[in-house]
Structure 1
Amino acid sequence: MWLVNCSNCQTPLRLPPCATSIRCSICRAITYVADPCRAPPARTYSCNKYSAAPYQPPRPPAAAPLPYNHAPLSPPPSPYGRKRAVICGISYRNAPYELKGCINDAKCMRYLLINRFKFPESSILMLTEEENDAYRIPTKQNIRMALHWLVQGCQSGDSLVFHYSGHGSQQMDNDRDEIDGYDETLCPLDFKTQGMIVDDEINATIVRPLPHGAKLHAIIDACNSGTVLDLPFLCRMHRLVFDDGWECNIKMPITILIF
């Protein structure tokens, strides 16, 4: 049996078990209460004084054990970040300037990235004349889209690779940012009709958007490729030419500046 105060005259009333309301016999007012079977204990009457019984809040359910001391549910992410590559090999078949071995270079690079550097196959975009997908033929538009894909959503820790094997060339520098007055270019499959890809565009597409901590390795096997990414620094390798015509590359100390 619980005691509650009348909501009007404050007279103590005996509340029947599990009752939700009671009428005062003095002022006839009705007092509504919460379900006493679920509510915390009401005030109790003792020695003509009211004392509030201490309320004991329900205990929260025990938290599930954290898996810190258990084996992880899935492999941890790679400490080297995500990996992505664009590989382009162009042979210019049946053209007077046809090249031999460029598509084979692209296949070898793909094999190297997958088997040696553990690049996922799905993260490598191949552009060669042997591809069945029209969007993977190395046209100017497709190469442009591939370069944008390479850096899209790039984050610190990502490892990116751009490999190109094909023709390279030069054209007049229109914005006067080249010392020699010429921009370096890559020659897509349709460069005769659509034009070449200029180093200024390559720099703006895959170099400038790189966030701090991301790495880009560009391997360009083409003529005039030394500054095709328009980087601010250039490393030249010195060579010695002997009397018999043989050339010997001397490995010079190289300082790599990372920003």
Structure 2
Amino acid sequence: MPPRAMAGEGGVARSFYSKFFPSTSSKARTEDHIPSRWADVRRIVRVMCQLFPGFHRPIRRRALLVGIKYSDQEDRQEQLRWTHEDVDRLYDTLVGLYGFQPADIVVMKDQEGIAGHLWPTTENLCRELEALTRDCAPRDRFVFLYAGHAGQKRERVPFSEADGMDEYIVPCDAEDELGYIDDDKLYRYLVEPLKARCKLVAFLDACNSGTLLDLTHNKCLVLDGWKGNEMRTVRRTREILAGALGIPISDRDGVADVRQVETREEMELVSVGCTAIPPVGEMFRPWRFCHGLCRRAFHPHDPYVICFSACDDGERALDMRGLTMTKVLVHILSKRLQTVRLVRLSIIYGVPEQDHRPPLELLISTARDDHASKYKTKAEKYYKRKTDKNNAERGRVGRACSRIIGWCGRRHAGMDFAPEEERPTRFPPLVAKFQISSNFPRFTRTERFWI
């Protein structure tokens, strides 16, 4: 057949077929040179990898776990006891249940035996925070845990915070504000470098940590109480009406009625304008931030950032055995993930197929309930132990006084010589709840948690 005949009807198909499935009876083929049927496919993949470097790059997972005990502090009240244990618990969960490689997890502790470059000093923390998201690519996964002290100070940029205060974390060598790492730096290190479809899960087990990562939305994610139910109903009604009327979302943060500033430069510019007229700035301050009615929308091509905080801004977190936020969340997630390993026996055990990915609202509400239940159990044991001790001491004092009075010839049977002691107040009260924040409004009842 002439060569040009191949270009006729069916020639292209026969040529394509002959490249991938060559005939074994062809005399042109020799034993020394046998072309592969997948040679063209490999060539195409090679060209795609050269044109798009991220085409063949696997998803990377990194984690930075920081736990600070402040053991060198002279004041024992400034020392923490269970932060290192929080780091170890989350490390075991990431490696054993989420498939993280130990080489991709950086652990920083102020503990003997830890290398000097992994002590959580200001310099080392800034270096590792920047390295965590450096050279990230789409779909990468990141985990950040901070268990230590955190505080508040007057906002650096006027009217840039909802409560007028900047939050910061305290490295182990920080002596004044110069050594603190504030929320603006954390946002610049962890959130700004994220590429499309990257995911960051942060655990901030510290005081004053509600907006420590400076994320935009926190009040609209989990709405508590009767007021929360009313706000949820109003927001859902607005979303339905906006969808029916075709009203677009006004900005990239998903807020329909308030235009959120998108960059730090815009935030500073708006803050300067509000500073010129302080009463106007104070009046509009609450409406420049999340107020619970933010309109939700799916953002599949934007970075996904979710942050779990031990308490709200201006509150103190508990540092007690088994009562830290990290331990409670790890216990819930580990229990669910271990249950999923029995999916093949789901008919017998009745385990749902997606039980290892609990919805965000269910996860945070379950964590709050477990935390409150464990706190109540510990408080009852503490008060019972103190009451038994006081009763024992009161009984000994009463018997000694009765002997003395009897020896003096006075009979005062049944007299209670021990004064009535008030209920001990050394056990810290539970006034804080776990918080959740994100860079976008979330459908917390349907969006499932996964790292």
Class of the TM-score when normalised by the shorter of the 2 chains:
0.5 to 0.7
**Offset of 1:145 from its aligned partner?**
0.7
**Offset of 1:203 from its aligned partner?**
0.5
Query: What's the Cα RMSD here?
Result: 3.6
Contact 2:210 2:435 in 1 (8 A): no
Contact 1:89 1:106 in 2 (8 A): yes
Q: Which residue of 1 aligns with 2:91?
A: 110
Gaps of 5+ in 2: 1-27, 42-54, 227-371, 377-428, 437-441
- SS of the equivalent of 2:185 reads helix
Q: Which residue of 2 aligns with 1:133?
A: 115
Alignment of 1:28-177 (within 5 A): 61-66=33-38, 81-95=59-73, 96=75, 97-130=78-111, 131-176=113-158, 177=160
**Offset of 1:62 from its aligned partner?**
3.4
- Percent identity reads 28
Please give the per-residue CA displacement for 1:75-95, whole angstroms capped at 9, x wherever unaligned.
Answer: xx9998211000000000042
* Alpha-carbon distance in 2 for matches of 1:151, 1:197: 17
Contact 1:166 1:221 in 2 (8 A): yes
Task: Work out which structure has the larger RCO, using CA pairs closer than 8 Å and 6 or more positions apart in sequence.
Answer: 2
Contact 1:81 1:158 in 2 (8 A): yes
Match 1:188 to one of 171, 192, 208: 171
Q: Which residue of 2 aligns with 1:72?
A: none
Gaps of 5+ in 1: 1-57, 69-76
* Alpha-carbon distance in 1 for matches of 2:165, 2:435: 29
Please give the per-residue CA displacement for 1:157-202, whole angstroms capped at 9, x wherever unaligned.
Answer: 1110000100010111111211222101111101215521100110
* Alpha-carbon distance in 1 for matches of 2:102, 2:36: 38
- SS of the equivalent of 1:200 reads helix
* Alpha-carbon distance in 1 for matches of 2:155, 2:185: 13
Q: Which runs of 4+ in 1 moved over 2 A?
A: 58-62, 64-68, 77-80, 235-241, 244-252, 254-257
Aligned residues: 190
Contact 1:238 1:250 in 2 (8 A): no
- SS of the equivalent of 1:113 reads helix
Contact 1:170 1:183 in 2 (8 A): yes
C-alpha spacing 1:86/1:247, structure 2 compared with 1 (3 Å): closer
C-alpha spacing 1:81/1:101, structure 2 compared with 1 (3 Å): same
Aligned partner letter, 2:180: M
Contact 1:83 1:123 in 2 (8 A): yes
Please give the per-residue CA displacement for 1:8-55, whole angstroms capped at 9, x wherever unaligned.
Answer: xxxxxxxxxxxxxxxxxxxxxxxxxxxxxxxxxxxxxxxxxxxxxxxx
* Alpha-carbon distance in 1 for matches of 2:168, 2:432: 28
C-alpha spacing 1:212/1:100, structure 2 compared with 1 (3 Å): same
Please give the per-residue CA displacement for 1:106-132, whole angstroms capped at 9, x wherever unaligned.
Answer: 111111110010100000000001253
C-alpha spacing 1:191/1:247, structure 2 compared with 1 (3 Å): closer
Alignment partner of 1:238 is 2:238: no
Contact 1:140 1:197 in 2 (8 A): yes
Aligned partner letter, 1:226: G
C-alpha spacing 1:239/1:94, structure 2 compared with 1 (3 Å): farther
Alignment partner of 1:216 is 2:200: yes
* Alpha-carbon distance in 2 for matches of 1:248, 1:175: 27
Contact 1:87 1:106 in 2 (8 A): yes
* Higher helix proportion (structure 1 or 2): 2
* Alpha-carbon distance in 2 for matches of 1:250, 1:140: 27
- SS of the equivalent of 1:191 reads coil
Aligned partner letter, 1:119: F
Contact 1:239 1:250 in 2 (8 A): no
- SS of the equivalent of 2:132 reads helix
